[in-house]
Each structure stands twice: as structure tokens, then as C-alpha cells.
A = this chain, B = another copy of it.
Amino acid sequence: MSYSIAEAARRSGLSIDTLRYYERIKLLDPPARDTAGRRAYSDDDLGWLGFLTKLRTTGMPIKSMREYASLRRHGVASAGRRKALLVDQRRSVAERIAELQGCLDILDYKIENYERVEQKVLGIEPGREEISA
């Protein structure tokens, strides 16, 4: 199957402008064109876009995604380097998750504090206007 840029945008969750931008900066090989010169994205293109958006979600900078994209074009000889990039990113994602988990704990603690304050207000000053009104 082949998809118009609008359809590719819908399916990838990227904007039309971003698709053209990714092509300009060589994240994406130029897709095929229809007879009128309009882009016709293949399923392969969509698959690659899907993976790219995953990499983006992990916070990989465009620079590194470009490197990965460029290696992909150099075939099987580059597989080792590509794997190394992914292993590296895997490590950074795991670190990020741990870091966020730590922040989650702090947020929980702060939120609980606010709840304790609410309880205090209710307990120490019973029958105040906050309760009835």
C-alpha cells in the first residue's frame, strides 16, 4: 500500500510539516512520488516512522536518529554500530525511568503532606465555615 502525506501523518502521529522536515534533514529517505509529484509513503516508510517516533519518545536527539538512519543505509556492515546505539539508548531510558520513579516518590510525599494538612484543618478546627459552607 501507499499513502498520501496526510494519511502518513495521521498514521504516524506526526504533522505533515514534520514529515517533510524529517525528509529534509535525512531522517527519512525520500518516499516515492505519484504521477503528479506528490509523496507516496510505503508501508516500510510507515514502519520506519513508527520506530523513529519511539526513539523520539525516548528522548533521543535528532542528531543520533540521523546517525542511526544513515547507518541503516549502509546495510549489514553497520549492524554492530546500530546495535551499540540502541544498547546505549536502552541504558539511558532505564536511567530516565529510575529518575522519574524517584520524582514520583517525592511527588507522592508532597501530595500526602497536603492531605495531612487538609486533615489537620478539619480536625483541629471542627465546625468551621469550610465544612458547612
Contact = CB atoms under 8 A, between A and B. Distances in A.
A122 interface: no
Contacts of A103: 54-55, 57-58, 93
Interface residues of A, number: 31
Interface of A: 51, 54-55, 57-58, 76, 79, 82-83, 86-87, 89-90, 93-94, 96-97, 99-101, 103-104, 106-108, 110-111, 114-115, 117-118
Contacts of A55: 103
Contacts of A51: 106, 110
Identical chains bound together, number = 2
Nearest to A82: B114
A12 B114 CA distance: 25
